[in-house]
Structure 1
Amino acid sequence: MLRLLRSMTPAVVRAAPAISQPAVVRLQQARVTRGKTFRRALYAGVAVYISWRILDESILQPGLSRILDELEKLDPIDDENDADYEDWFVPLPMFETVRQPPYSRSSPEWARYVAFNAGSPEANQERERVANHCRQLVYQSAVNTKWVSSRFGKIHPWSSSHFFLSTPPHPPPKILQLGWVPFPSDGGPWLRTRRTDYRSWRRTMRTFWPVHTVHASIAFLQTLFLDTITEGRSALGYPPSPEHESAPVRIPVLPRLSTFRPRPQEDDEDGRNAAGSSKGPGGRAVPLPPNPSPKHASGSDSTPRATRASTGGTPLPSAGGNSTAESAGRGAAGLGGKQQEAQAQRSQEQGQNHDADEANKSQLPLYKRVTPPTEMVDKHMRDRAWSSFVRELNPRWQLPPNYPPEGCIEISGFVYLKTDNCHLQVDVTAHYDLLRKKIDEQSMRLYIRRVGAVRALRR
């Protein structure tokens, strides 16, 4: 009974709604949410730390070590610029080939060339030794190449050769690689060049081939877009912009070379072959202009020379003849002369009008006068775009040749190799280093020129 009365007191009744309010529930939900956010942040931090350690140990550190190794292998361009390359040099995939000046008479390389080409017994013995070494290198290369032995059979040690010597007029070009120096100690430029070899060039170009392809694709799309815009402007009647040099080339129309002289009628064969006509452009007969001089008192006719020549060349009657015949002849000549003069005047006006039209037409812009067919324009645009693609890709992707070291003499010739099935003629191009007395095998090039039967070689 007391419990019932105690529950019905005003204090308990006021406290009951406060207990059932959702404030406690919202507070509990807030506590739960804060716990989830903290755990998620903790897990994300741990994942980022582990990923960074893996990236650093597997990619960044080996990459930096490789760059440092490459920097140690590179040689400076000149001895006087050694201080410029003591800084941290980061190579970039951009190369340049610099052609060196020719040898001079006082250079030591030229002196070695002269001594090697001399006819002394020592020089002949050295040349014979170089030829034998080249023949041995060709034989070893053919033996180590699997497709040669599988296609032509086993290669025998016997061989014969013939070589020619060529003195190069200038040293081989230098290969320079652009690099970035982030902290130059001498305050010099950040972008510098360093001499490298063709092996590093090949390796770098193969590594960065996606970058070169993207550059060439951008050049292709840019040229195609500019040509399309220029062609659209020309179709609408606007002149092409002078800075857009990639626009299709229009076919020029030159004005007709005219002297503003009357042209003969098509049905006037006599006037076309008249004696009073001259040769115009293209071998076409052009009549001479009429004589603008007035009539003289002596009775000279004012009919143009071309008109008089078209009458067959018949002379007028003399003044001492019959008066009736003279008056009749003068009347006939006057009537015919007026008609022919009017005809010549009309021809002259037609010729002048035609020449004026040609002159006005030549003053119009070319894009308004001549428009090539759509197929030709499209093909020209595609060719220009593809040419820009190849032009951008070639210097970036084209592998450099195997340049020999300085002071090398070129050796070219051919070597015969005997196999079980045939004999091979191999063209050889090598370089002999006169200073080190050895052949540069890296710049040696071999080509199989001819394949013949063994019996043909025995003859």
Structure 2
Amino acid sequence: MWRLFRPRTGAASASTLAARAIVPKVPGRQTVIVQRVKISRPRFRPRTFFLGAGISLVCWQMYWSTVLNPFFRHVDREYESLSVAEKKALDEEMDEEAEPWFIPFPFTTKSVDQPPYKGSDPEWEQFLKISRDKETQLQMRSQLSQRVKAAVEDNPRITASGGNPVRIRRYWLDIDFPYRPPPVFYSSGLLVQGDGIYWSRQEVDSFAVKRLEKVLWPQAMAVSTWAFASTLFKQHFTAISRALGFESSKPVQPFPPIRGGNVQQKTQGPLPSANRQTPDGTPAENASHDVSKTADSRQTDGPESGGKTNFVRDVAISHAEGMKHITAGPVREFWKKLSQTWWSPNRYPPRGCVLVSGFVECEMPKAVVVIDVWGFWNPKTKMFDSDLTYMRLRRFQPKRQGPLRA
């Protein structure tokens, strides 16, 4: 049965090849050419190996004799010049184990949510003490309001409009106890120790994580650049549509204003007669002659045609002025969007901190200012951290208002 599947040999195969050769080739078809390629490994050549080893040895010997050996000899001389006490202190310092150095890698940071507080946790017990102590709560609110007052006094723009001194009029501050600690960030990287280098996963600072995220994902810069490009495109599109007549342009004055109208009016007046004299006593003809001479001298003060001019500088200045005029509006949109979307990264508070938030109203001689504020009070230090206190101007109300138009 398997004979039916065997390839034909002999006359049958020859006839098949002949038939294929006789059949005319279709111009649309292409002949497939199969080539055999043999990949051979490069042979080991002792000559190349020994030549490279010799060159490397010579380079190492030169580097050792010119750089490393003089440096080590200098260190030995400095060590020998030390006293016995200094040598002992240096040896003790070298024997101490150095702190490991961790190098985090980007795109390996992960945020891990912490479990909620338990009733037996020391942080929750501290929260219970604060909730029952009214004096501590009053102290927390007073500290935060005083920080707001100091910030208003140090702001030159607010004090320039409202004046000094600043007095706390009233405040509304709430105290909130968090149910769980802030998340913890872990990053993978290289851990350099005295006995070697290891791949490790360590806890990193939340502020460093936020700063790295703003560098790797510049959202504010991307949005501002998009605002610049879109404004520039709209400006060019409007100019092209006006040039093609699809949009009504501004009415053009038929005759531009003529400068020096007084001079033309003077020249249209009656010419001085020959018998008239000028105030300095000269005849009117001489005066008119002097005027014509001064006019001719003013005309000849400019550069003559064919004189030397800095053409490249003039063209560069004109192009720079044109680009500055074209990009003035888009640049304003860029800085406006950047000021709206850019903010400094906020760090998470330490474990066990209490949130105090609300508003503080400050009275000034000329205005009343309302400041939104939120800060984290640390029970261990019993203070507000300046890096964890945030403020925002909600309202600036002048005491006396006048109309904008007379």
Q: Flag whether TM exceeds 0.5 (same fold).
A: no
Larger Rg: 1
- The structure in which a higher percent of residues are helix is 1
The TM-score normalised by the length of structure 2 is: 0.40
